[in-house]
Amino acid sequence: MSGQAPPAEDPGEEQRSILSSSAVMAAGTTFSRLSGFIRSILLAAALGNLVHADVFTIANTIPNMLYILLAGGVFNAVLVPQLVRAMSHDPDGGEAYTNRVVTLAALFLAAVTLVLVAAAPWVVDLYTSDTWPPDALDSTVAFARLCLPQVFFYGMFVLVGQILNSRQRFGPMMWAPIANNVISVATLVVYLVVFGAATEAEQRGGFTTGQELLLGIGSTLGIAVQLLVLVPYLRAAGFRYRPRFDFRDTGLGHTLRLGTWTVLFVVVNQLAYTVVVRLASTGTGAGAADGTGYTVYSSAFLIVMVPHSVITVSLATAILPRLSRAAADGDLARLGSTLSSTMRTALVVMVPFAALLPLLAPELARLLLGYGAAAATVDNYVPTLALFGPAVLFFTVHYLVLRGFYALEQTRTVFLNQCAVAATNVAVAVAVVTTTGPAWTSPGLVVAYGAAYLVGAVLSYRVLSRRLGGLDGARLLRFAVRIVLVVALSTALAWAVHLGLDAVAGEEPPLPGRAWSAVVVAVVGGVDVLAFLALARAFRVREVTAVLSLVTRRS
């Protein structure tokens, strides 16, 4: 491989390339999310959404949280720019550097995983409320021991995926989670066949040993297979792994110095999230039928993150190598224009979604989550879903702007920004949850999430704009005015249609509950989309065309 940097792309060709790469990732993410929805439906049907469900959901979430805490920041954000630089400037195209990174990461993750499994009871204590029933707490520890090996597999999956991304192979990392979801779905189907849906009494306690083994081993197996799916693509991308233990004076010190601030970033972020999970566990610990906890919070989060994952993450992953090259070349104007264009493209999806979600929250909850053990308490999801739409809009802006800081290697600034985000999240979460009842635990956490990322988005945008000499602010402002006006009109029309359907339904809808919910979602959502597209064309919101190209382009 050559050690020369690739030639610069013209803006039009760069945008087409970004959209093409994003389309591959968006397709994979869409299928992954669809299979993830099936998993969520089955999980709700099998376990419900009270403390019984929180036992498994929290235990199965802890490995991902700990991976992010211990290594995720470095793997996700710091390594891509460093891998791109090594490919561009090292005589061997970054081969030796990458081998050292993989070797060091595997050793670190294996050691950490062994320690965490041994410390499972103490780990669980960090994330669960003192109000939990003893049998629920015992089951959480048992699940944690079975699930904590996922830390190793999560870390290696992300590392291998980022190596592929740095070589412009974006598709595999987005498609691989489907394998995990298939195994998770199969595990839950077997669980329902063998054990059945949790009864009302079972939803207030723990699990049997057989139930713990089936769900715990099935969950960890899914993450392991997700990693194994990526391995063949490394060879296809031209990378041959050979263990390297010569870590001194090889450039890893620079990566680790950059990683110091990113590690501090994720430490602050995960400490805040630990508070969120522990607060969430108080909503279901007392056993109230209308209590909302971590299962409600995470299920709603999965739904609202669909457009963010399909559009924003795909775009951000595609542009990060380009932003890194622009930063390495000192071309701050190109970095700013690429980031600004990507932000507008993402917001033409996120703004209408955020406005429509509160309107359709009751129907979406019944349609997506109101099955089996969760049928009687499906309304527990509605306030959380309704509030999450606007909150995720602020997160989208914050998320994209941070890609600019990572490309510039300004990880200290990212850390300082995240301190403000985490402090806001914790302060608002504690204030809201401790002053409301169990029914408002999860919605209160969403309010805190939205407040935190509103602060983060404003701070990060202002700082990056100042350092780049602008983020095409005038164009963004004109875009914001047009998109808000278009969305206000399209959502008002959708609201009127929803009122008309409510009048038609009266006390007794013409179709059974979930069928009628599907009709309402389809009709109201369809009207909103068509109105939005027509109004966007009338108001010349050209970014809509870019998104249509993204979701219809063939990879």
- How does pLDDT run across 388-444, given as a tens digit for each residue? 988 999 999 999 898 888 888 787 888 899 899 999 999 999 999 999 999 999 999
pLDDT band at residue 5 under the 50/70/90 scheme: very low
- The answer to whether residues 160 and 293 belong to one domain is yes
Q: Among 435, 452, 471, which residue terminates a domain? A: 471
DSSP 3-state of 253: helix
- Is residue 3, in this structure, part of any structural domain at all? no
Q: Mean pLDDT check: name the lowest of 120-129, 221-230, 336-345.
A: 336-345
Of 170 and 459, the structure prediction assigns the larger pLDDT to 459
- Is residue 211, in this structure, part of any structural domain at all? yes
Q: Where are the beta strands (DSSP E) in 134-290?
A: none
Number of domains comprising the chain:
2
- The answer to whether residues 383 and 531 belong to one domain is no
- Is residue 7, in this structure, part of any structural domain at all? no
Q: What is the pLDDT of residues 188-197, one digit of tens each?
A: 999 999 999 9
- The answer to whether residues 377 and 418 belong to one domain is yes
Angle in degrees, CA 497, 501, 503, rounded to 5: 115
Provide CB contacts within 8 A for 64, sequence distance 6+.
Answer: 150, 154
Q: Mean pLDDT check: name the lowest of 33-37, 255-259, 386-390.
A: 255-259
Asked if 226 contacts 179 with a C-beta cutoff of 8 angstroms, the reply is yes
Asked if 127 contacts 277 with a C-beta cutoff of 8 angstroms, the reply is yes
Domain that holds residue 505: 473-555
- Is residue 372, in this structure, part of any structural domain at all? yes
User: How far is it, in rounded angstroms, from Cα 356 to Cα 379?
Assistant: 18
- The answer to whether residues 427 and 478 belong to one domain is no
User: How far is it, in rounded angstroms, from Cα 479 to Cα 463?
Assistant: 21
- The answer to whether residues 165 and 51 belong to one domain is yes
- The answer to whether residues 425 and 542 belong to one domain is no
- The answer to whether residues 444 and 528 belong to one domain is no
Q: Among 447, 471, 495, which residue terminates a domain? A: 471
Cα dihedral 31, 163, 392, 19 sign: negative
- Is residue 132, in this structure, part of any structural domain at all? yes
Asked if 421 contacts 359 with a C-beta cutoff of 8 angstroms, the reply is no
User: How far is it, in rounded angstroms, from Cα 385 to Cα 347?
Assistant: 19
User: How far is it, in rounded angstroms, from Cα 141 to Cα 296?
Assistant: 21
- The answer to whether residues 106 and 162 belong to one domain is yes
Mean pLDDT of the chain: 84
- Is residue 14, in this structure, part of any structural domain at all? no
- The answer to whether residues 397 and 512 belong to one domain is no
- Is residue 4, in this structure, part of any structural domain at all? no
Start-to-end CA span in the chain (Å): 25
User: How far is it, in rounded angstroms, from Cα 311 to Cα 550?
Assistant: 8
What pLDDT score does 87 carry?
66
Among the listed residues 14, 53, 390, 22, the one whose alpha carbon sits nearest the alpha carbon of residue 191:
53
DSSP 3-state of 249: coil
DSSP 3-state of 117: helix
Query: Is residue 139 scored above 60 in pLDDT?
Result: yes
pLDDT band at residue 501 under the 50/70/90 scheme: very high
Query: Is residue 77 scored above 60 in pLDDT?
Result: no
Asked if 342 contacts 315 with a C-beta cutoff of 8 angstroms, the reply is yes
Position of tokens 């065309």? 545
Instruction: Look up residue 444 and give its two tokens.
Output: 């209160």
- Is residue 422, in this structure, part of any structural domain at all? yes
- The answer to whether residues 382 and 506 belong to one domain is no
Angle in degrees, CA 41, 349, 526, rounded to 5: 65
Of 147 and 21, the structure prediction assigns the larger pLDDT to 147
- The answer to whether residues 265 and 189 belong to one domain is yes
**How far from the centroid of its chain's Cα atoms is residue 533's Cα?**
27
Q: Among 441, 471, 501, which residue terminates a domain? A: 471
Residues in the chain: 555
What pLDDT score does 310 carry?
73
Query: Is residue 126 scored above 80 in pLDDT?
Result: yes
4 class by beta-carbon count within 10 Å (0-12 exposed, 13-18 middle, 19+ buried): exposed
Alpha-carbon distances of 128 from 145, 274, 275, 277, 443, rounded to whole Å: 15, 9, 10, 7, 18
- The answer to whether residues 458 and 523 belong to one domain is no
